[in-house]
Amino acid sequence: MSLLTDTLQVPRDLATTTAVVRRERAPLGKKTVRIRTRFSNSAGRLCCEFIDLEFVHGSQRFTRIFAMLSSSRVKTLWPARARLMAAMLAFLAAGCAQKPRHTSQATVLAKASVSPPASPSGSAAAPGSGPRTPAEEAELRDAAELGRLRASSSGSRQGCAQFRGVELAEGRARRQARGAQHANECTPEATRVVTCVETPDGYFVPVDQSLDLCSYRLWFVPRDAARRPLPVSDVLEEFDLAFTVRLEADDLDNDGVVEALLIRGWAHPEGVGDGQDAHVVEPSGEQRRLPFNDLKDVDGDGRIDAIVRFASTTNAAGCEPPDAFEAWVPRTLYGPDIVLHRLSGFKFSLTDEVSRRARAKACKNPGTSPVARRGGEVDENETMRRAACQLAAGGDPTTIGRALNDACSRDYERPTDCKKRRPGVCFWRSTLLDVPAVFAALEPWLDAPTSLPGR
């Protein structure tokens, strides 16, 4: 499984089989916008479709996501329901739908894997005797164009400038010029963030893709003309559900090879979840997910520092009365951002002056116990703050983990714990219990262990 992932609304049984995702956004009357998400398998056969109807009433905007093949889940106004049913009937009449297994399952926020390109020859897909898929054709075209641009570059177009014509900004400009924009076109922010980065050995080039949704594929183009350009990621989308936060280059692991540092983010359209992950992409195509949420220079010393975030948001729906049903009820667990200051090579510090100063305000008075209580229940926000801050300062993970487990011994259940929680129940139990493991994953990157001796 690739370490580059996009977070999407997909059925559980499609989470590991979906390969192609296409989204379209179009007006549906004066007060409604339709966002269509179509999931296809690797052979291009449509296996499921979701309709996101966005209703606008004055200054408020309401969104519901429905599976077309599970129409019993629709809970909205009758005119909108009628539109959705008509769209479903037209869709089925066209003979395009293939009902997935277990369609009665509720859709969940799941990770749809982006498979890494695997080519035994270490190059882009080579021509074969059999028919090629559209994806293979696109890969061959991109490889040829990158090779042509590299070969034809002049003294005035050295560096990343020689590849500007294949990036998101140029693709967006070409579509605007001929009046054929994407249904979800690339934003100015995406064209600014997603751009070529140069290394001593070559270039990491994001190549614009001819899809309905703003997207790109990351390639490595060696300086050595004898080596062919290599795709080092699958197609990555720029959408509210999945997008690029930052693309830089650095020798993060101090192995003498400069890699691409890719920060990918995601955000649920209803505000019930967001986050981001850091990845290293090698010129060879090897990909690794890092135990950080962000990588950037915090103190301006020219070295890229790491950041781990402990805040989290989820959907807490399920405790409303039947006559006041809400599909999306955001609930946030607040926690500190912990900075790991880069020292040299791939080593970071949690205990030097820069790291301690960065968390000083958030970690003021962390207490002696990691568990805080209020009104007889665990104060989960304060408990998260204390646990993260104590571990960053060198607290014993075994002791802290045991205290968290004793305080949060039972999972939150709906509707049992809606009005009054049972003893030992924590809404964020799994997140809190995972905090020591987060710091354990940081150990290989640190200049010194964070925990006390003899743990």
The helix/strand/coil state of 202 is: strand
Per-residue pLDDT band at 72 (split at 50, 70, 90): very low
Q: Which of 107-121, 148-162, 380-394 has the lowest mean pLDDT?
A: 107-121
Mean pLDDT throughout 23-35? Answer: 49
The two three-digit tokens of residue 156, written as one number: 């005035």
Rounded Cα distance between 349 and 303, Å, is 13
pLDDT attached to residue 96: 41
Q: Give the global pTM.
A: 0.72
The pLDDT, as a whole number, for residue 157 is 60
Return the ∠ at Cα 76 (arms to 73 and 82), rounded to 5°. 90
Rounded mean pLDDT of the chain?
Answer: 78
C-alpha to C-alpha distance for 101 and 315, rounded to whole angstroms: 25
* Per-residue confidence (pLDDT) for residue 59, from 0 to 100: 33
Radius of gyration of the chain (CA): 25
| Choice among 81-90, 264-273, 279-288, 396-405 with the minimum mean pLDDT | 81-90
pLDDT higher than threshold 70 for residue 67: no
- Of the candidate ranges 167-176, 258-267, 304-313, 358-367, the one whose mean pLDDT is the lowest: 167-176
Separation between Cα atoms, residue 59 and residue 80, nearest integer Å: 19
Amino acid, single-letter form, for residue 396: D
Segment 75-106, tens digit of pLDDT: 334 444 455 455 555 544 444 444 333 333 22
pLDDT at residue number 120: 36
pLDDT over threshold 70, residue 15: no
What is the tally of helices (H) and strands (E) in the chain? 9, 24
448 confidence band (pLDDT: 50, 70, 90): confident
Rounded Cα distance, 32 and 419, in Å? 36
Residue 268 identity (one-letter amino acid): H
Nearest 5°: phi and psi at 190? Answer: -65, -40
Residues 153, 167 contacting (CB under 8 angstroms): no
**What's the token pair of residue 33?**
């916008």
Location of structure tokens 């209020």: 374
DSSP state of 298: S
Instruction: Specify the higher pLDDT residue, 66 or 134.
Output: 134
Cβ-Cβ contacts under 8 Å for 433 (sequence gap 6 or more): 401, 404, 405, 408
Q: How far apart are CA 96 and CA 100, in angstroms?
A: 13
Q: What is the pLDDT of residue 127?
A: 52
Among candidates 202, 176, 204, 203, which has minimal Cα distance to 188? 176
**pLDDT tier at 116 (50, 70, 90 boundaries)?**
very low
pLDDT at 323: 73
* Rounded mean pLDDT, 180-209: 91
Do residues 268 and 251 lie in contact, with contact meaning Cβ atoms separated by under 8 Å? no
CA distance linking residue 393 with residue 449, whole number of Å: 11
Q: What is the pLDDT of residue 179?
A: 81
The enclosing H or E element of 436 equals helix 435-442
Residue 2 has pLDDT above 90, yes or no: no
12-16, 266-270, 284-288: range with highest mean pLDDT: 284-288
* H/E run at residue 26: strand 20-27
pLDDT above 50 for 109: no
Q: Is pLDDT of 271 > 80? A: yes
Sheet with 243-250, strands from edge to edge, namely 243-250, 259-267, 274-281, 287-289
Choice among 44-48, 72-76, 284-288, 416-420 with the minimum mean pLDDT: 72-76
pLDDT tens per residue, range 296-337 = 999 999 999 999 999 999 999 999 887 777 889 999 999 999
